[in-house]
Amino acid sequence: MDTNTFDWQLFLTRWSEEWADSRDDSEELRSDDVEAQRRRWLGYSPASEADIAALEQRLGRALPSSYREFLRVSDGWRHAGQFVWRVAGTEGAGWHEDSFGLGADFDEFWGEEGNPPHVRAQVGLWSRALQVDAESDAVFVLLDPEDVGPDGEWAVRTWAGWRAEEPDRYPSFAHFMVAMHQEFHRHRTPADGAPPFVDDTTRAQDAAVGRARTAALRGRPEEAAALLDEAKRYGRPGAADMLRQLNRFGQGRRATTTQPLPDHPRFLTELLPLYAADVTSGGHGRVDHLGDPGVFPHSAQASAEILREVREGTYGYRPGGAFGEAVDEAREAARWGDSAEAWRILRAALPLWQPLDPDHIAPEGLFADVLLAPVLTPERCRELLATPRGGESGPAPDPAPATQPDGLSWVLRSEPGVEPPFKTFRMVLVEGVSPGGLPGLLGGPDPAPLAPPLRRWDLRRHHRPGQTSFSSDDDVVLLHVGRAGEDWSFAFDGDMLSGLQAEWFVSPAPAASAGGRRAIVVWCDQRRNAPVFHLSVAQDGVLSFGFTVRGTSVEDRTGDVPDELAPEYLGFGAPESAGHRPAALHTLDVLAEQYGVGLPRTALHHGRLHSFEGAPWIRPPRPGEPHATLSFIRHR
């Protein structure tokens, strides 16, 4: 908004006429409101130059331009929005001077060290501000003479104690009045059974919502968001819903969600799963009543099933149609950790996606899917919004640049100021077997079936529920599984309690390689003063080579170790133990390159994967060998 060219006469005249036309016959009006409706004018007579000059002399300084221009058209205003019943003119405006004693508490809070500059700048507001609310529902309207923009305008701050929020800020008085005009429209709700209130403003904003819908479906989200943001301020139907969908793809699953109601066309397919996922992952709200047949008899059974799946971490998005078939296919890739393939499938199917109602502009139900939500990186969300869909056409976006293969070393690599994803881990990479076949190779004589996809921090609670006893010879091997490359699978344990004991360690590589396969085993433990790294490679049930490095010492070197994987070539054995991590990283990079393998960063670090409890990698103690058991007693 250019406050220098703002047409106050046109703006205030239109607002007055809209207010007069929107009055309900059942409303009781005050006597001055009756006159305002008759005259179709919410304002007063213009302030004279002498009136304005007298106010500026009383204040001791010149008024900001937009407030002065307002006064030249109307010396005050009635009904600025819903809660400011009268804006002061030249007679009523004056310095607030902290007349309610609010300054001390606010200044202490605003002035706290560590607050951002825009918060600290509010210190002293209550003492210095020009107050222009003459009558309101306990709402203060304050012009701040020390918050001045490049155009010379004073910022306006409004605050109401019953909102329990920080003051709202507007760049100028003109911006404040436009916002109050928008608030007036948001609260123009007709009586039950009455037709909706329509005028030139609502028609223009509804047309903007229609243009925004088309722009969104044609892959122009920025254009759509700009139109919807203004339409939402006017309270136009559909604007907030569509803007929320765009924002969710910009912010991820935790975008703000309000409780949906069962009569919404997207209640079961998208809104309820999203709301339940937000609430159960730490958001605010309640969900149980949505599955209560006494409250919602027609939708309760289906709602209860969805709520159960969300709580158990098994919910899958079911949009139906051709796009729904692609979602099923993408979920199959995601459950084995292949996020790139899952996204490729979704991306190719996006033009087939169809909305369920006129305000539906994106498949946001993907964020409730426990397997596919982690696939939606910020880059992929932007690509999704830029892809034409829902029957609209337009230029397709260039695919996001292909990311480098995840490789192996990311699990141990730290960024500046950030700990590595895993300080300790062990893994088995097996060629020629699907992830579902790994329990038969690594699960011992009586392997358990794969568990449903779980997050890494849920493994122990799922596989060892209620465990209270821990033994030094009880090696709990909880393995996530997935695809590690073309014709390779992985089993990964990143939450070990036991450490590698060289004299008791039994590499699972030979067992995993039985039947003509190749298998690679890595055990890395960086928690100790003397870090440990083990590598063993087997083929067709026979150990080909292996070694263990403890601190700076190379132990248990076995077989014909290739030159490129020799401990001394990799950097192990350096005098400083600090060289152990670079050598381990080097080893992981060589393995990834030599064998064409990698671990899926997104799935292991943020997503869910199938898992099973493997056979121990530490043999039981022999007679006379010491071991200990630690037990905990649970008190209720």
Strand partners, 77: 43, 87
Reduce the DSSP state of residue 323 to 3 states and report it: helix
The tens digit of pLDDT for each residue in 475-489 reads 889 999 999 999 999
**Per DSSP, which regions of 363-476 are E strands?**
424-431, 451-454, 469-471
Q: Please, which pLDDT band fits residue 168 given cuts at 50, 70 and 90?
A: very high
Q: Mean pLDDT check: name the lowest of 110-119, 148-157, 314-323, 500-509.
A: 500-509
Question: Which H or E run contains 75?
Answer: none
In a domain, 242, yes or no: no
Q: Report residue 290: phi and psi, to 5°.
A: -70, -20
The answer as to whether 527 is a domain residue is yes
Is the overall model pTM greater than 0.75, yes or no? Answer: yes
DSSP string, 551-570: TTEEEEEEE---GGG-HHHH
The pLDDT tens digits of the residues spanning 530-585 come to 889 999 999 999 999 999 998 888 888 999 999 999 999 999 876 665 578 899 99
Measure the CA dihedral 439/440/445/448, to 10°: 40
For residues 508 and 521, the answer to whether their CB atoms sit within 8 Å is: yes
| Residue 629 resides in a domain | no
- Region 615-620 average pLDDT: 83
* Alpha carbons 184 and 42: distance in angstroms, whole number: 13
CA distance linking residue 380 with residue 390, whole number of Å? 18
**Which residues contact residue 385 at a Cβ distance below 8 angstroms, ignoring those fewer than 6 apart?**
216, 219, 221, 246, 249, 362
Instruction: Indicate the residue among 148, 163, 186 that finishes a domain.
Output: 186
pLDDT score recorded for residue 316? 95
Q: Report d(CA 432, CA 447) in Å as an integer.
A: 19
Domain count for the chain: 2
Does a structural domain hold residue 53?
Answer: yes
- Whether residue 513 is predicted with pLDDT greater than 50 in this model: the reply is yes
Question: Could you tell me the pLDDT band of residue 401, with boundaries at 50, 70 and 90?
Answer: low
Q: What is the CATH number of the domain that holds 154?
A: 3.40.1580.10
Beta bridge partners of 630: 470
Q: What is the spatial distance between Cα 271 and Cα 260, in angstroms, rounded to a whole number?
A: 6
What is the rounded distance in angstroms from the CA atom of residue 148 to the CA atom of residue 337? 53
Is pLDDT above 60 for 609? yes
DSSP state of 400: P
Listed range (289-293, 355-359, 525-529) with the worst mean pLDDT: 525-529
Is 212 domain-assigned? no
Domain extent, residue 607, equals 409-614
Q: Kindly tell me if the per-residue pLDDT of 33 is higher than 80.
A: yes
347 vs 621, residue with greater confidence: 347
Average pLDDT, the chain: 89
**544 inside domain:** yes
Residue 34 lies in a domain: yes
Sequence-ordered list of residues with C-beta below 8 angstroms from that of 488, at least 6 positions apart, any chain: 429, 430, 431, 595, 596, 597
Lowest mean pLDDT among 161-175, 333-347, 459-473, 510-524: 459-473
Q: Look at residue 622 in the predicted model and tell me its pLDDT.
A: 63
Model confidence pLDDT, tens digit, residues 287-322 = 889 999 999 999 999 999 999 999 988 999 999 999
Amino acid (one-letter) located at 499: G
| pLDDT for the residue 632 | 47
Tokens of 429: 């990479």
Strands 84-87 and 77-80: antiparallel
pLDDT of residue 137: 92
Interatomic CA distance for residues 608 and 237, integer angstroms: 38
Residue 540 lies in a domain: yes
Residues 6+ apart with CB under 8 A from 177: 11, 70, 77, 80
Give me the mean pLDDT over the 110-138 stretch: 93
Q: pLDDT tens across 418-455, in order?
A: 788 888 999 999 999 999 999 999 987 788 889 999 99
